[in-house]
Amino acid sequence: AQSVTQPDIHITVSEGASLELRCNYSYGATPYLFWYVQSPGQGLQLLLKYFSGDTLVQGIKGFEAEFKRSQSSFNLRKPSVHWSDAAEYFCAVGWHNYGQNFVFGPGTRLSVLP
């Protein structure tokens, strides 16, 4: 079955430091890839998505992500973290016409130190 892993349950970074959140998926077919962010007690907001083309995609709030087919990864990055980026981040993967259409990862909680 398809699966999505986010190896880091919780990450803490200092404000102004760079950030990378990891996401890996299990199935080999070309997937559709998404990153969402969730603030406490709220719903999820789309940060960015990748379908095809340039493997480095830009999103909102200064985030970017890179698709690496050889590593089945879609890692999220930000060069300089702000205190307001503290939230939970979810990677999601969609597969066309294969079993369940999409799966969310378990999430990574980001804390930001002042």
Partner 1 sequence: DGGITQSPKYLFRKEGQNVTLSCEQNLNHDAMYWYRQDPGQGLRLIYYSQIVNDFQKGDIAEGYSVSREKKESFPLTVTSAQKNPTAFYLCASSIDDRDISNQPQHFGDGTRLSIL
**Using rule CB under 8 A, residue 100 touches partner 1:** yes
**Using rule CB under 8 A, residue 97 touches partner 1:** yes
Stretch that binds partner 1, among 38-46, 53-61, 67-75, 78-86 (CB under 8 A): 38-46
**Using rule CB under 8 A, residue 49 touches partner 1:** yes
- Smallest gap from Cβ 4 to partner 1, in A, equals 8
Contact with partner 1 (CB under 8 A) among 15, 32, 66, 72: 32
Question: Of residues 50-79, which lie at the interface with partner 1 (CB under 8 A)?
Answer: 51
- Smallest gap from Cβ 114 to partner 1, in A, equals 25
SS3 for the chain is CCCEECCCCEEEEECCCCEEECCEECCCCCCEEEEEEECCCCCEEEEEEECCCCCEEECHHHCEEEEEHHHCEEEEEECCCCHHHCEEEEEEEECCCCCCCEEECCCEEEEEEC
Stretch that binds partner 1, among 19-27, 36-44, 62-70, 75-83 (CB under 8 A): 36-44
